Structure 1
Amino acid sequence: MSGISSVVSPRRGLQRALQFVKHVITSSPSRFAIVIFAALILVFTALLSLPIASASRTVTPLADALFTAVSTICVTGLATVDMATHWSGFGHVVIFIGVNIGGMGVLTLASLMGMVISKRLGLRAKLIAAGDTNPLRAHGGPVNEGQTVRLGEVGQLLTTVALSTLVIEGVVAILLYPGLVMAGIDPLVALWEAPYYAAMSFTNTGFSPNVGGVGVFADDYFVLTVLMVSVFLGSIGFPVIYTLAKHHWHVARWSLHAKLTLITTVILFFAGAAVFLILEYDNPGTFGSMDAVDTTFQAFFLSAMTRSGGFSVVEIGDLNGSSLVAGSMLMFVGGGSASTAGGIKVTTLAVLAIAVWSEAKGRQSVEVFGRRIPSDVQRVALSVVAWGATIVALSTIVIAQITKADISHVLFDVISAFGTVGLSTGLTGELPDSASYVMAATIFMGRVGTVTLAAAVAATSRTQLYSLPVERPIVG
């Protein structure tokens, strides 16, 4: 009997553990997403700390291993070590796997893990997955089925996430391979670098496996264009890819989210290129030594990369101060929701811009494309912007105090960290350990925090059956 009880007891313990995990999964999608990402960061920190992960076969210092793990899982691209020379082949494989896991998205990844444990995609699991496409879905209240992706379509969305990642990275790798070979890279080496660049561009990470980064392709418009297209596809978000795959060019059937994402992305892409062209055309350290065609193309490339791509042909530290400010603004906005890009997201900017325009016009409601944007969406947008601005401000102050570096460089790198962009003025690679920990926390909060905050704000919505007396404070 004692033998039987000793066998039953571990089984019961395992069942209780599984029940606890299921409870965590179904009770709070946001909390589960944070736990998953934190656990992945710890695992990858351990892997990158192994002697086999470094080219010198020595243990990588904890600060560098942790920072690289955070930057990898949060698909950021900032680094405190030389990514091309510090890591061994094993280390690069670990990073390659990490960016693909991180690129799947916070709540989408949490949903997939939940499916593995619960063996089925139930209603709560669907709410978790749908929360990545629209944070307003992460609560249990009434949901307007005109929002981003319907709950019944979540299974198809998850399939789209997996297939689009596989197909897009595969096609990009195939396109990049001949370009890398023609650029002088050994054909065997290019077999590895092509899929590596494909993953780093689609996930909007920006790590480069070779010395010199994409600067070695500065005159290769084909390679740079493929990278730009891959970054664009990764930055618009899986719900938009899903919409385009389902409805193709039937614009009338596109969701409001897809329309706002694509329109705002295109506007920022061209506006950013125009701004960089105007500010940098006479800068000898960047565009000043190029002809008109090169200057125009590189302005568009820089505009695309500041949206979260992270690759750079010119030295970011050589940009004019005005360009650093413009780039910081683009990085703060980032890409589309439920995408591999970071920032406050283009739809957040679009909603706030439409709300301001509606207020200026004296309209009672915020409307666009024949649809009304409810007040709770506007509240979430304001909360995300406030959250982002607070993180950036605090991190900038702390890192500036630690390093005593130029505040414009500190601000640029901090916003790059928050927006999970990966562009750097050179400051991040010189940070002391204490500042690198602060920067790593900024990356984590920038990647995970905006989604979970939006979900938390939405989840606190309550139906109120009474109204308090109105009193208007002076604003402005």
Structure 2
Amino acid sequence: MTSAPPRRRKREIFRHPGQVVVAAFGATVLVGTLLLMLPGTRAEGGGADPVTALFTATSAVCVTGLVVVDTETYWTSTGHAIILALVQVGGFGLMTLASLLVLFVSRRLGLRTRLNAAAETKSVGLGDVRQVVRGVLVVTVVVEVAVAVLLTGRLLVQGLPPGRATWLGVFHAVSAFNNAGFSLYSDSLTRYLTDGWILLPVSVAIIVGGLGFPVMLELGRRTHPRRWSLHTRLTVLMTGILLVGGTLFVTASEWTNVDTIGTLDPAQKVLAGFFHAVQPRTAGFNAWDYSEITQETLLGTIILMFVGGGSAGTAGGLKVTTFIILFFVIVAEVRGDPQVVAFDRRIEHRVVRQALTVALLGIGIVTFATMLLTELTDFALADVLFEATSAFSTVGLSTGITPNLNDPAKIVVVVLMFVGRLGPITLVSALALRERPRRYTYPEGAPIIG
């Protein structure tokens, strides 16, 4: 009697949860591209060409905001609705999937690391996945509705018809909270450069969305900073530093520039400076022409874009926690301290290695993309570097060269947006899950540094 052959294990399509995230967003981009190619989405009739549809869908799903066509005039109301839906799906999916990855990774690590992770990420509800999804949904609805009401009210005061005012308020509220930067105005928000009733609600929505869901939820449940987790402390601290420092720097750099804010009164200059210190880190709205800013502001904006916002949120960049951890690494090395300490907490070596890896890979990707775009186009290096950083950090700001890119350059930017949006999330989770104890050690080596 012959024994039955052993059953083959079913091969898993996705061996890593990060692959699920990439596949989900890739499928959403594909669906969005096909929808934007349908007849009735383009104002001139028919649908968009494949490259334009792909670029716009990727920019919307990855909540970037870079556009190769004028959103207001190129698309019909149907096209606008599709773009808004893609932005909402992209932003909600990012916060939800990124938060769930935190839960998954923390449970798959060793016991000690898992306990530390549970202590530091309890703000996302480790015991209940549904709590994460429900929390993201509630925060999204509350913030978007509140901002939409404020914007709609302001537009009604300015004399817009109720239907138009409501649609503009909803569209820009959703775009702002999801850090997308899409606008139904051809000049973005330039016409509202001195209108605090427009700029401030949009800025608040961007900041809240850029903090990340774990931080948002924890701030909503705990009012005393002493009870915040280390992640929340680091995120809030770095966000505050960048907002204050960015506002001072941008305002000072543009103070006498008559092409931006040089002719405004001091209060209006500070308002515009604050708004444009918020935008580079997270969203792509602009209330001045970035082709007219000073070289100092251009460089400062590139740095702010690269740093980005909070983890598990709608903001892009390499994330504020990555950079503040690297700052504490430098402090520890300068002091000769073998341990990296922040707020009386020792930062694990694996977290330090992850921060270094993400930062250096980000620099490498932006550098390579800048070189590639320089070869493919005839634009100045500063403009190309600005564009590449904006795409990788999913910010959406541009000096005006995006519509003039050729098709190969557009594809490069599409890849940059997709990699920049999902790369850091999947990379960090993959590095964390590959963490395993080594049963032996190699002899030490000490190459000369510097």
* TM-score calculated relative to the size of structure 1: 0.88
Who is 2:263 aligned against?
289
State whether residues 152 and 166 of structure 2, in contact with CA within 8 Å, keep that contact through their aligned partners in structure 1.
Answer: yes
Rounded Cα–Cα distance in structure 1 between residues aligned with 2:353 and 2:186: 45
Rounded Cα–Cα distance in structure 2 between residues aligned with 1:166 and 1:356: 40
Who is 2:59 aligned against?
71
Task: Report SS of the residue matched to 1:312.
Answer: coil
Aligned: 1:97 with 2:70: no
Rounded Cα–Cα distance in structure 2 between residues aligned with 1:33 and 1:51: 30
Aligned: 1:392 with 2:363: no
Who is 1:84 aligned against?
72
Who is 1:123 aligned against?
none
Rounded Cα–Cα distance in structure 1 between residues aligned with 2:428 and 2:207: 24
398-407 or 453-462, larger mean C-alpha shift: 453-462
Deviations 1:26-59 (A, max 9, x none): x311011111111110000000011211112222
Aligned residue among 443, 453, 463 for 2:427: 453
Who is 2:3 aligned against?
none
| Cα shift at 1:285 | 1.1
In the TM superposition, 1:242-261 aligns within 5 A as 242-247=217-222, 249-261=223-235
Aligned: 1:267 with 2:232: no
Who is 1:177 aligned against?
152
Rounded Cα–Cα distance in structure 1 between residues aligned with 2:444 and 2:142: 55
In the TM superposition, 1:35-434 aligns within 5 A as 35-106=23-94, 108-109=96-97, 129-131=99-101, 133=102, 137=106, 139-142=108-111, 143=114, 144=116, 145-149=118-122, 151-247=126-222, 249-434=223-408
State whether residues 194 and 272 of structure 2, in contact with CA within 8 Å, keep that contact through their aligned partners in structure 1.
Answer: no
Who is 2:7 aligned against?
none
Task: Report SS of the residue matched to 1:304.
Answer: helix
Rounded Cα–Cα distance in structure 1 between residues aligned with 2:142 and 2:334: 45
- Which amino acid letter does the alignment assign opposite residue 306 of structure 1? P
Deviations 1:194-236 (A, max 9, x none): 1101100000011111333211222211111101101010000
- Which amino acid letter does the alignment assign opposite residue 85 of structure 1? T
Rounded Cα–Cα distance in structure 2 between residues aligned with 1:56 and 1:77: 22
| Cα shift at 1:158 | 1.9
Rounded Cα–Cα distance in structure 2 between residues aligned with 1:399 and 1:185: 42
254-263 or 150-159, larger mean C-alpha shift: 150-159
| Cα shift at 1:241 | 0.8
Deviations 1:341-397 (A, max 9, x none): 000000101111111111111112111222111010011111111121111011111
151-160 or 374-383, larger mean C-alpha shift: 151-160
Who is 1:11 aligned against?
none
* TM-score calculated relative to the size of structure 2: 0.93
Q: What RMSD over aligned residues (CA atoms) do the two structures have, in Å?
A: 1.8
Rounded Cα–Cα distance in structure 1 between residues aligned with 2:246 and 2:27: 37
Rounded Cα–Cα distance in structure 2 between residues aligned with 1:403 and 1:318: 21
- Which amino acid letter does the alignment assign opposite residue 146 of structure 2? V
- Which amino acid letter does the alignment assign opposite residue 270 of structure 2? T
